[in-house]
A and B are shown apart, each in its own frame.
Chain A
Amino acid sequence: EPEVTQTPSHQVTQMGQEVILRCVPISNHLYFYWYRQILGQKVEFLVSFYNNEISEKSEIFDDQFSVERPDGSNFTLKIRSTKLEDSAMYFCASSEALGVSYEQYFGPGTRLTVT
């Protein structure tokens, strides 16, 4: 069964450093998403991406964040200057289409630890 993959599974970085989290969505999916889950808290939406541009973003997704689809398969989240509070699990997801009934398939997550 096709699945969303994410690399790395765990990233440790120092405060102020840039990190890039990588995702490979399911190949025939058109919509891509990033979510964040701070330890012990609920999953929060960051950004959605369609047709090579951001379609929606949350208040969390400020200027330190950016997303890119550099080729036909990868979807990346860049955090420019990491802060301690960026420590969280970051999930990538993809969906075939947009609509209330279309399931978003989540990747296994990248645990980001900022020290």
Chain B
Amino acid sequence: AQKITQTQPGMFVQEKEAVTLDCTYDTSDQSYGLFWYKQPSSGEMIFLIYQGSYDEQNATEGRYSLNFQKARKSANLVISASQLGDSAMYFCAMREGTGGSYIPTFGRGTSLIVHP
């Protein structure tokens, strides 16, 4: 079973609009972390935001916020006021604490295109 599922292979949004990128995860651990990374066409992986499983509040970083719904095992990324520079691949990742292995598992990614 996939540990991280990103069901949207591609998303389009108008500049200045908000967009939500979906991510669901599968774990039986109580302690885990959820991450979002941005990968522009140049290829580098840019860390955006982190949410811990015990965090009671949704994480926010500037225009990025994480809509964390623990019972539904979802960790959707919300980008407010989209900019042309937000066009990129976005990867959701999870790190579990079982057995001391903290290696993250990545989803397949969502390609976001921001239209002017």
Contact = CB atoms under 8 A, between A and B. Distances in A.
Interface of A: 33, 41-45, 48, 56, 58, 89, 91, 93, 98-109, 111
Contacts of A99: 97, 102
Among A56, A100, A101, A107, which residue has the most Cβ atoms of chain B within 10 A? Answer: A100
Interface residues of B, number: 29
A84 B47 CA distance: 30
State the main secondary structure of chain A at its contact with B: loop
Interface string B86-107: 0000010101110011111111
Interface in B1-57: 31-33, 35, 37, 42-47, 50, 52-53
B45 A109 contact: yes
B97 A42 contact: no
A103 B47 contact: yes
Contact of B102 (A58, A89, A98, A108): A98
Contacts of A108: 42-44
B47 A43 contact: no
A101 B33 contact: yes
